[in-house]
Amino acid sequence: MQSATWRTFSLLTASFLRPSSRITLKRQPLTSAPFRTMASSTAAAHSLLKKPVKLACVQLSSTTDKEHNLSHAADKVKEAASAGAKIVVLPECFNSPYGCDFFPSYAEALLPSPEATSPSFRALSAIARENQIYLVGGSIPELVEEEQGSKKYYNTSLVFSPSGELLATHRKVHLFDIDIPGGITFKESDVLSPGNKVTIVDLPEYGKIAVAICYDVRFPELAMVAARRGCFALIYPGAFNTVTGPKHWKLLGQARAVDNQLYVALCSPARDTGASYHAYGHSLIVDPMAQVLVEADENEAIVSAELDGEKIESARKGIPLRDQRRFDVYPDVSRGDVKFEEP
Assess if residue 34 is contained within a domain.
Answer: no
Q: Is 197 a catalytic residue?
A: no
Count other C-beta atoms under 10 Å from residue 96's C-beta: 22
Q: Which domain holds residue 108?
A: 52-331
Q: What is the mean pLDDT of residues 325-330?
A: 95
Q: Residue 24's pLDDT is what?
A: 33
269 touches 240 (CB < 8 A): no
What are 80-102's pLDDT values in tens digits? 999 999 999 999 999 999 988 99
- 263-267/185-187 β-pairing: unpaired
Tell me the C-alpha distance between 284 and 295, whole Å.
Answer: 4
pLDDT above 70 (res 45) = no
Assess if residue 145 is contained within a domain.
Answer: yes
pLDDT above 50 (res 43) = no
- 200-203/207-211 β-pairing: antiparallel
Q: What is the mean pLDDT of residues 309-323?
A: 95
What are 99-131's pLDDT values in tens digits? 889 999 999 999 999 999 999 999 999 999 999
Assess if residue 96 is contained within a domain.
Answer: yes
Assess if residue 342 is contained within a domain.
Answer: no
Tell me the C-alpha distance between 50 and 1, whole Å.
Answer: 64
| Alpha-carbon dihedral 95, 100, 104, 107, rounded to 10 degrees | 30
Q: Which of 92, 142, 295, 298 is catalytic?
A: 92
Assess if residue 233 is contained within a domain.
Answer: yes
Q: Residue 50's pLDDT is what?
A: 97
Beta strands in the chain (DSSP E): 53-59, 87-89, 108-109, 134-136, 140-145, 151-160, 166-171, 177-179, 185-187, 200-203, 207-211, 231-237, 263-267, 284-286, 292-295, 301-307
pLDDT above 80 (res 37) = no
Q: Give the CATH number, domain containing residue 224.
A: 3.60.110.10
Residue 134: half-sphere exposure toward Cβ, Cα within 13 Å: 20
Q: Which of 29-33, 244-248, 253-257 has the lowest mean pLDDT?
A: 29-33
Identify the residue with better confidence: 185 or 91. Answer: 91
Q: What is the mean pLDDT of residues 288-296?
A: 98
Q: Which of 57, 93, 214, 231 is catalytic?
A: 214
Q: DSSP of 112-124, one letter per residue?
A: S-HHHH-HHHHHH
What are 189-240's pLDDT values in tens digits? 999 999 999 999 999 999 999 999 999 999 999 999 999 999 999 999 999 9
pLDDT above 60 (res 8) = no
Q: DSSP of 77-125, one letter per residue?
A: HHHHHHTT-SEEE--TTTTS--STTTHHHH-EE-SS-HHHH-HHHHHHH
Tell me the C-alpha distance between 142 and 157, whole Å.
Answer: 9
Q: Which of 256-265, 273-282, 303-312 has the lowest mean pLDDT?
A: 273-282
Q: Residue 33's pLDDT is what?
A: 36
Q: Residue 34's pLDDT is what?
A: 41
Assess if residue 19 is contained within a domain.
Answer: no
Q: Is 208 a catalytic residue?
A: no
Q: Is 214 a catalytic residue?
A: yes
Q: Which of 66, 86, 172, 311 is catalytic?
A: 172
Q: Residue 180's pLDDT is what?
A: 79
Alpha helical stretches, state H, 240-301: 244, 250-260
Question: What is the residue-averaged pLDDT of the chain?
Answer: 88
Q: What is the mean pLDDT of residues 175-186?
A: 83
- Using left for φ > 0, alpha for ψ between -120 and 50, and beta otherwise, residue 149 falls in left
Tell me the C-alpha distance between 305 and 292, whole Å.
Answer: 10
- pLDDT band for 46, please (50, 70, 90 cuts): low
220 touches 259 (CB < 8 A): yes
Identify the residue with better confidence: 17 or 163. Answer: 163
Assess if residue 14 is contained within a domain.
Answer: no
pLDDT above 80 (res 10) = no
pLDDT above 80 (res 32) = no
Q: Residue 276's pLDDT is what?
A: 87
* Count of domains observed in the chain: 1
121 touches 115 (CB < 8 A): yes
Identify the residue with better confidence: 42 or 264. Answer: 264
Whether omega before 320 lies within 30 degrees of 0, making that bond cis, reads: no
Identify the residue with better confidence: 181 or 164. Answer: 164
| Alpha-carbon dihedral 339, 133, 260, 211, rounded to 10 degrees | -30
- pLDDT band for 178, please (50, 70, 90 cuts): confident
Assess if residue 58 is contained within a domain.
Answer: yes
Tell me the C-alpha distance between 59 and 277, whole Å.
Answer: 16
